[in-house]
């Protein structure tokens, strides 16, 4: 068998390769330049992707660190009971369980709401909302901007506001049932008049550690606090002061008269 790997053959092959390189020098240079350009683009693209990913990670870390330093608003409720164990009044305390804040302010508003559902008008719902003046009739500011900040109480009245609320609701339901039955007979209209609800809302504003202002609206009851839309909150707190009614003036007869007015009587 012929041996192709002797010194003479290797020399000839090497000379042939050199000849090919010399004759195709421009092509080889172009291919090499193209390969280098492609490699450079690939390296730059990879580097750019790494930088973008790194920036996103750093931004996320910054946001997490920032969030850890922001205030966290909580509401805590407690009750005052009479000798029989009835919760005659309540206290709502606003707490900051998070970071430092400044320029804190809070406002409260309570409404009596009655829903009337008219089944003969495609289930039309009529809402009657009555703003109550000073439902929480006393406030105590602790002076601190962390932990417990301010408390609202409604049991400074002789019997406590909760007891007044309970009596108004009970008495209203006693007189509204005969009225509802009478209206059904007179008009043939089927409708229901709901139980009056006392609904309390809070507006909270403050600045955080980064001097950014925050405005929040909440509905608060004995189950806890729910953040509501800003547009809804603004509408609730835009009530004219002349529309407010004192709690001692709220009774079943007054509520029924408002229902009758809404019903067109």
Q: What is the mean pLDDT of each run of 10 residues along the chain (265 residues)?
A: 52 58 60 66 69 62 61 87 74 89 91 82 75 80 76 74 85 87 76 88 92 94 88 89 82 88 73
CB 200 within 8 A of CB 220: yes
CA distances from 86 to 56, 82, 159, 243, 244 (A): 56, 6, 11, 31, 28
pLDDT at 1: 47
**Contact by Cβ (8 Å): 160, 80:** yes
Residue 144 pLDDT: 65
Domain ranges of the chain: 7-68, 73-262
Q: Check residue 215 and give its pLDDT.
A: 95
pLDDT at 165: 85
> What's the CA angle centered on 260, arms 256 and 265, to 5 degrees?
150
Reported pTM: 0.71
Residue 263: what pLDDT?
Answer: 72
Q: For residue 225, give the nearest of 128, 108, 115, 66 by alpha carbon.
A: 108
> Comparing C-alpha atoms, which of 176, 242, 206 is closest to residue 95?
206
| pLDDT for res 183 | 76
- Whole-number Å distance between alpha carbons of 221 and 91: 11
Residues 71, 207: Cα–Cα separation, whole Å: 9
**pLDDT of res. 53:** 64
Distance between CA atoms of 164 and 38, rounded to whole angstroms?
Answer: 82
pLDDT of residue 142: 67
- Residue 78: strand pairing partners: 91
Beta bridge pairs of residue 246 = 133
* Rounded-to-integer distance, Cα 52 and Cα 59, Å: 10
So what's the pLDDT on residue 69?
Answer: 73
């Amino acid at each position: 068998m012929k041996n192709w790997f002797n010194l003479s053959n290797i020399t000839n092959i090497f000379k042939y390769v050199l000849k090919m390189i010399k004759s195709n020098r421009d092509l080889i240079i172009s291919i090499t330049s193209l390969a280098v350009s492609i490699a450079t683009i690939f390296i730059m693209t990879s580097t750019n992707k790494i930088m973008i990913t790194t920036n996103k990670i750093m931004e996320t870390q910054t946001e997490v660190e920032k969030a850890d330093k922001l205030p966290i608003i909580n509401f805590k409720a407690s009750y005052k009971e009479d000798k029989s164990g009835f919760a005659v009044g309540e206290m709502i305390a606003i707490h900051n369980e998070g970071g430092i804040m400044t320029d804190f302010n809070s406002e409260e508003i309570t409404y009596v709401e009655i829903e009337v559902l008219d089944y003969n008008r495609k289930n039309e719902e009529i809402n009657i909302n009555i703003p109550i003046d000073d439902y929480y009739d006393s406030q105590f500011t602790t002076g601190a901007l962390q932990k417990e900040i301010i408390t609202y109480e409604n049991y400074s009245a002789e019997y406590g506001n909760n007891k007044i609320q309970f009596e108004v609701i009970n008495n209203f339901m006693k007189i509204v049932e005969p009225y509802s039955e009478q209206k059904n007979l007179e008009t043939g209209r089927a409708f229901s008049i709901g139980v009056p609800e006392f609904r309390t809302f809070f507006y909270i504003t403050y600045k955080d550690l980064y001097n950014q202002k925050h405005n929040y609206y909440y509905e608060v009851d004995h189950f806890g606090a729910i953040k509501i839309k800003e547009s809804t909150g603004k509408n609730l707190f835009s009530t004219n002061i002349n529309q407010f009614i004192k709690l001692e003036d709220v009774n079943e007869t007054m509520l029924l008269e408002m229902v009758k007015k809404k019903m067109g009587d």
